[in-house]
């Protein structure tokens, strides 16, 4: 390679100490700008040095008396040599024209506002939401308070978190870094025939029951979830069976009813569905099913494994540790019933059951409120949610395995 070629491949960086005070006229500024189009200036690091440069140029060229086109030349020159934008330079030069000194108008507060909730608190909140499936704001706030009352030191500050600020933390970058995506429950796409529900009059034992199909794959049916919810306490029990037929459904219903702690007084299905051998319909009761199992196809051969998971992990978590919103009905002067959801009525199904007057009278023989409360106290809400999630992950590993081919 020739000498000129080697020199051409080398990039030189030069530091030029320019005495710009020699530029005394507008024509000199124009010539300077025309001859330095490819030159990049290293602007002063401090604002004070930039301000001094702007004042010196404005005074030297008598900026206040210049015509509009000449002021534009000065602005372009200062943009090149100060690094400020045109709008910012216009404001600064107006201050110089009016005799004001240039200095920073803002400063860091002597006593900055202390952050009540740290990034670590936001990470803990994300952990709670991930474990419990992102419950409503009031329900989550109650969970945080219960965790602190249970002795978990991580919740010392979060125990005082308000519902409104909870959503601020959920919108923060720290929270989103922990939880990238949130999938909401899909709306029901099927019209559902309406039938009048029973009136429990504050008594547990009146059950809404529904079936949720776990999708088809290449014409092959998936499992069927049986979802039963008590109208008053929201005590919820899930079961699973391979098919909707008498041979599979009756055993599943018997095992499901046995998991309710109180006597069953009546069953209500939204449109009769499979319980009167009609079309299967899916209602809002399926939200827990969809949050837990999603929408993808699950082979019928895994129905027994799913039923065991529901009985041993999901159902205890939902009824003993998962908080629900309960409505308070208020009758106005016109006789219209309005529902509100006060924070003091955020409870688990067990707590709602225990709050009923003389709750023991509704329970099945051999079951007491104290025994149920002792079972709930054996593990914290967060640990119960994590244990359920671990069991669900193991269950989902089975879904992804291919069945062994017959020899």
Q: Which of 225, 293, 288, 286 is nearest to 256 (CA)?
A: 225
| Neighbouring residues of 328: CB distance < 8 A, sequence distance ≥ 6 | 339, 340, 341, 342, 345
Query: Which of 93-107, 144-158, 188-202 comes out lowest in average pLDDT?
Result: 188-202
| Measured distance CA(58)–CA(93) in Å, rounded | 7
**Per-residue pLDDT reduced to its tens digit, 241-265:** 888 877 888 888 888 889 999 988 8
Residue 283 has pLDDT above 70, yes or no: no
Name the more confident of 114 and 135. 135
Average per-residue pLDDT in the chain?
Answer: 80
| Measured distance CA(275)–CA(210) in Å, rounded | 9
Q: Where are the domains of the chain?
A: 23-97, 119-178, 193-407
CATH architecture of 193-407: 2-Layer Sandwich (3.30)
Q: What is the pLDDT of residue 313?
A: 93
Q: Which two tokens mark 124? A: 């803990």
Query: Which residue is it, tokens 């149920």?
Result: 372
Q: What is the pLDDT of residue 183?
A: 58
**Per-residue pLDDT reduced to its tens digit, 180-192:** 655 555 555 544 4
User: How many residues belong to the chain?
Assistant: 407
**Per-residue pLDDT reduced to its tens digit, 346-391:** 899 999 999 998 889 999 999 999 999 999 999 999 999 999 999 9
């Amino acid at each position: 390679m020739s000498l000129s070629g080697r020199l051409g491949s080398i990039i030189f960086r030069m530091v030029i100490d320019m005495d710009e005070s020699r530029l005394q006229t507008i024509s000199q500024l124009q010539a300077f700008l025309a001859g330095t189009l490819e030159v990049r200036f290293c602007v002063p690091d401090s604002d004070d040095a930039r301000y001094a440069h702007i004042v010196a140029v404005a005074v030297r060229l008598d900026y206040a008396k210049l015509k509009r086109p000449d002021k534009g030349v000065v602005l372009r020159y200062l943009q090149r040599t100060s690094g400020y934008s045109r709008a910012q330079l216009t404001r600064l030069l107006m201050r110089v024209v009016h005799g004001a000194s240039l200095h920073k108008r803002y400063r860091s507060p002597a006593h900055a506002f202390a952050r009540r909730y740290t990034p670590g608190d936001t990470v803990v909140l994300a952990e709670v939401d991930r474990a419990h499936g992102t419950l409503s704001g009031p329900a989550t706030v109650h969970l945080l308070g219960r965790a602190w009352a249970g002795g978990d030191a991580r919740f010392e500050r979060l125990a005082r978190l308000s519902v409104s600020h909870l959503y601020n933390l959920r919108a923060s970058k720290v929270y989103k870094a922990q939880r990238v995506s949130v999938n909401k429950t899909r709306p029901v796409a099927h019209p559902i025939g309406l039938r009048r529900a029973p009136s429990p009059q504050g008594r547990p034992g009146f059950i809404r029951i529904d079936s949720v199909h776990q999708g088809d794959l290449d014409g092959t049916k998936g499992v069927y979830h049986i979802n039963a919810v008590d109208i008053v306490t929201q005590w919820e029990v899930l079961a699973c069976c391979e098919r909707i037929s008498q041979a599979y459904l009756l055993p599943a219903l018997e095992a499901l009813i046995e998991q309710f702690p109180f006597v069953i007084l009546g069953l209500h299905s939204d449109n009769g569905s499979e319980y009167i051998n009609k079309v299967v319909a899916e209602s809002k009761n399926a939200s827990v099913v969809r949050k837990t199992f999603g929408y993808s196809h699950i082979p019928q051969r895994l129905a027994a494994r799913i039923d065991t998971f529901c009985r041993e992990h999901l159902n205890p978590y939902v009824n003993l540790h998962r908080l629900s919103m309960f409505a308070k009905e208020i009758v106005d002067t016109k006789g219209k019933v309005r529902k509100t959801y006060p924070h003091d009525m955020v409870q688990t199904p067990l707590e709602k059951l225990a709050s009923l007057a003389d709750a023991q009278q509704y329970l099945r023989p051999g079951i007491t409120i104290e025994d149920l409360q002792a079972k709930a106290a054996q593990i914290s809400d967060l640990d119960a949610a994590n244990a359920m999630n671990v069991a669900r992950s193991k269950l989902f590993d089975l879904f992804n395995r291919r069945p062994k081919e017959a020899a």
